[in-house]
Structure 1
Amino acid sequence: MVNTPFRSVQVTVFLFLISVIASAQVQQELAPPYNIKTVSFRVNNENVYPYFRLGERFTLEFDDLFGNEADYYYSLTHCNYDWTPSSQLSINDYIEGFDNQRIQNYQNSFNTLQIYSRYTLSFPNKFTRILLSGNYILKILDENRDVVFTRRFIVYEEQVSVPVEVKRARNMDVVNEKHNLQFSVKTDAFVFQSPLQNVKVALFQNGRFNNAIYNVKPQYTIGNDLIYRYNKETQFWAGNEYLYFDNKDIRNAVNNIVRVTAGEIYNNILYMDEARANEPYTYYPDINGNFVVNNIRLNVTDINLESDYAWVFFSLSAPAYYGKEDIYIGGMFNNYAKTDEYKMEYDEKRAVYEKAVMIKQGFTNYMYILADKRGNINGKDAIDGNFYQTENDYNVFVYYRMNNERYDRVIGMGYANSENITN
C-alpha cells in the first residue's frame, strides 16, 4: 500500500486520539497481588484516611510476604476532580524534583513465622515534594516498571471553611437507614468565580472511595457562601458498626476468636457472624474500618516488624443472600478490595459463607460488602443493615478551578461525625 501524505495524516490523527482517550481514563485503584499486605497511609505512625494538608508529612507503608528485598518504585499522577489525569499539567508543575524513584527504606521482619519485607515511602522525601493540592494517584511499580498496585489520595489546602452537620433523612422510607449531610462553603479570602460551574464537592464516609458522592452543585448562595441543604443528593446509607477481632496475642483464643490452631503460621478461627440486617441496632465502639497492628508478646522491640501474620477464618450465616450477589470481607486492612482473595464462598451443606484471609495481627475492623458481578456495592440491602444510630466519620472536600486555571484545586475540607446526628 502506498503511504500517501493523506494516509500519514490519518495515522497521526488516529494515534493522537488514542493518546487523548488514554490520558482521559479515570484512574482507578488497582488492588495489590497476594504477596502485598497491610498497605496503609500513615501520619505520626498511625493509620489515617488518605487525606493530607498540602505540605504535611505522611507515609505509605506495605509488607511484601516474599521477603526478598525486591526493588519497588513509585510514580505520582495529579488528577482532575473526576480522577482523570490533569492533562494540562506537566509533572514539573505538581512535583518538585522527580518521581519514578526506588523506595529505599525497607526492613525485614524478625521473630515471625511469616517472613516479610516492610517498605516505607515518605512524602516529602529527598527526591519528591508535592507542590499542588488536588487528587493524586500513587503507583507502586516493580523493577520492570510494571504497576503492582495503586492508591488514591487527596491533598488539600485550607482556603475555605466547610461546616458540616449530619442529619437524619427527611424522606420517611429511609429515615431510619440513612445519614444526610448538610454543609456550606464559607470564605472571606476571595470571591468565587461562576461557583455553579467552578466549585465542586466530594463527600466521603469513613475514608472510603467506593461509595463517595460526587457532582452535587450548590443549592443556593448567600453572598459568597455556598449552601448545600439537599434531602436526597447528599445521603449515605448509614450501615452498622464494624465487626472486629483482636489477635494481638496470636496464640490465644480471645476477643471474637473461638480457637487457634497451628500450621506454617497460626490459624485464627473466628466465631460465626450472623447477618444483622433484621436485628435491632446494638451500639459498641469501633474504629470505623481502621486497624491497629499489635503484638503483646514479651520483649517485642518493633511492633511493625515483629508482628506476625495469621490465617483468619471468617464465617457468616446469611443464607437469604445466596445466589443473589457476591459478598466480600472489607476494611482499611485491604482497602475494601473486591477481589477473589476476599470474596466469600458458600457452603451449601452448612448454609454458611466462609473465607480464610491472611491478615497481620492486631486489632482489625471489618465489614461484609454486598456487590453485584460488576463490583457495584448494594448499600440498601447491606448484610448488617442500615441504622441511623451508627457512628460514622464524614468528610467533605471542596474543589475549585478559577476561570482559565489548569487544574482542580482542593481548597478546603469539612468533617463531621454522626454521633452528633440531629433531626
Structure 2
Amino acid sequence: MKLIFTLSLFFTSLSFATAQAVIETPPPNYIRTVIFQGPGDYSGVPVIRLGEPLVLKFDDIIGDEANYYYTIEHFNYDWSPSELLKNEYLEGFDNVRITDYENSFNTLQLYSHYQLEIPNEDTRALKVSGNYLLKIFNDKKELVFSRKFMVYEPLAQVEVAVRKARDVRFIQTQQIINFEVNSPDFIIRTPEESVWAVILQNNNLKTAIFNIRPQYHIGSTLVYKYDQLTSFWAGNEYLNFDSKDLRAATVKIRYIEVQDLYHHYLFKDAIRAFQPYTYNPDINGKFVVRNFQALDDDIEAGYVWTHFALETLEPFEAGEVHLYGEFNNFQLDDSTRLTFNPDTGLYETARLFKQGYYDYKYVFLRKDGILDEGFISGNFVSTENDYTVLVYYLPPGGRYTRIIGVGHATSLNITN
C-alpha cells in the first residue's frame, strides 16, 4: 500500500499539505504500548459516536510514577484549529493530571501503567463532532506525545463497497472504494462545496485518502464512484506472533533465552511479493495485550525482547526495511528499522514488546521518503482489508466542520 494522499479533482479544495498541518507527536522510548480506543475496538485511530467513551492506556517503563497531564483540542476537517472556544466543544475542563495509574506486578521490567477515560469527573463530555487531538504532557509542561481521534454524529447513512480496479494494470493489485451518502432527514446544502470525505484502510490515518468530493448527487444521495482517486494498494495479510506465555515457544517463536529480560527469537520470514497469495487470518495490523497467567493484563503482562529476521540474501541499496503495525501507531523509527547482516543474509532487529498478540509486516522506505508497503509483502487483490469512510460537512455560515456519517466495509466482499 503506497503512502499517497490523493488530492481532490476540484482545485478549489484544501491541499494535502494543509490537511496534514497538525501531525501526531510520537512517544519517546520510555513510553510503551499506547492503546487508544473507543468502546469494544482494538487500539487504533478511534472513530467514536458523539457521547461514546474513549480510553487511553500507556506504560512508562522508567516506573517512577511520574505525573502526566492531558489536554483536548478541536480541529477542522483540514486539521487547522477550529474557531470554537474550549467551552464550546468541551463540557468541564482539561489540563488535568491523570490519576489512574498502577505499578507493574511480578514482572522483570518494572513500569507504571496509566489509564485515562473520557468522559470523567473533570472532562464530562465532548459536545460537538469533528477532529480532535489528545495531548499528553509531563509535569514540566513538555509535550510527551499526542494522538488524533474523530467524533461523528449519525446524521447520514454511508454505504461502502469495495471493488476491483477497472484499469487492467491494477486489477490484481488494487482495491477501489465506492460509496454513497444518503441523508433523507438532514439537508446538505451545496454539497459540491461543503462536503469532504476521507477513506481509511485498516484504521491507519497515515495512508488515508483525503479531500474526496462527491461526483454527483441524486436527490438526497451523494455518489462517489471514482476509480484511481479512491484506490488503495491491496497489500498482503499481516504476519503475527503471540507471546502470551514468556516461557513457552509457539508456532512462530523458534526459541527463548533469558538474560536481563526474556528474549523471543522468531522464525525467519521470507519475501512474499513473488509468492502466491495465501489467506492468513489477521487483525489488520492491530495488537492485543495478554498474559495467559495474569488476572490483570494491564499490570501483570511483562516486556520481552522480540527478535525478527527477514531473509533477503542481499541488502537493498535503495532504502530501508522496517517493521510496520499498530503496535507503535504505524510509525517508522530507529526501533522498527532492520539492519542487514552479511554473515547470515538476513535483515535483523530486536524490539521491546509487551506480552500479547501482535500483527506486523515488513515495509520498504525508499530514499525519496515514499513508503512502499508492497515491496516485500506484495499486493494481492484478495487480501482482506477493512475500510472506513468519514463524511465531513461545513454548513453555510458554520464555524467548524462536522462529521455527519461513517461507513464501513471489508474487502472480503469485493466485487467487480
One-letter code aligned to 1:132: V
* 2:176 equivalent among 180, 192, 207: 180
One-letter code aligned to 2:412: E
Q: Give me the TM-score of the superposition, normalised by structure 1.
A: 0.91
The alpha-carbon distance between structure 1 residues 373 and 77, as it changes in their structure 2 partners (threshold 3 A), is farther
Q: Deviations over 1:160-195 (max 9, x none)?
A: 000000001111111101110110000112221111
* Higher Cα radius of gyration: 1
* 2:337 equivalent among 335, 339, 343: 343
Name the structure 1 match of 2:235: 239
> Does the 8 A contact of 1:24 with 1:85 survive in 2?
no
Identity of aligned residues (%): 44
Give the Cα separation in 2 of the matches to 1:422 and 1:141.
47
* 2:387 equivalent among 374, 389, 394: 394
SS across alignment from 2:213: coil
Is 1:369 matched with 2:392? no
Aligned pairs (5 A) from 1:289-328: 289-297=285-293, 300-319=294-313, 322-328=316-322
Query: How far 1:321 moved relative to its partner?
Result: 6.2
SS across alignment from 2:398: coil
Q: How many residues align?
A: 397
> Does the 8 A contact of 1:25 with 1:85 survive in 2?
no
SS across alignment from 2:169: helix
Query: How far 1:24 moved relative to its partner?
Result: 9.7
Is 1:420 matched with 2:413? yes
* 2:200 equivalent among 200, 204, 229: 204
> Does the 8 A contact of 2:318 with 2:367 survive in 1?
no
Q: Deviations over 1:302-334 (max 9, x none)?
A: 121111010000111235661112222121111
Give the Cα separation in 2 of the matches to 1:45 and 1:204.
19
Give the Cα separation in 1 of the matches to 2:169 and 2:315.
22
Give the Cα separation in 1 of the matches to 2:363 and 2:76.
28
> Does the 8 A contact of 2:277 with 2:380 survive in 1?
yes
Is 1:108 matched with 2:103? yes
SS across alignment from 1:212: strand
One-letter code aligned to 2:408: Y
Name the structure 2 match of 1:57: 53
Query: How far 1:98 moved relative to its partner?
Result: 1.2
Query: How far 1:210 moved relative to its partner?
Result: 1.1
Is 1:218 matched with 2:211? no
> Does the 8 A contact of 1:247 with 1:255 survive in 2?
no
Give the Cα separation in 2 of the matches to 1:54 and 1:46.
16
> Does the 8 A contact of 1:239 with 1:382 survive in 2?
no
Give the Cα separation in 2 of the matches to 1:373 and 1:81.
31
Give the Cα separation in 2 of the matches to 1:271 and 1:283.
19
> Does the 8 A contact of 2:39 with 2:52 survive in 1?
no
Give the Cα separation in 1 of the matches to 2:406 and 2:322.
30
Identify unmatched segments of 5+ residues in structure 1. 1-22
Name the structure 1 match of 2:3: none
Q: Deviations over 1:339-377 (max 9, x none)?
A: 112111122333321111000111111111222346432
SS across alignment from 2:229: coil
**Further displaced range: 391-400 or 182-191:** 182-191
> Does the 8 A contact of 1:182 with 1:228 survive in 2?
yes
Is 1:405 matched with 2:398? yes
Query: How far 1:77 moved relative to its partner?
Result: 1.3
Name the structure 2 match of 1:7: none
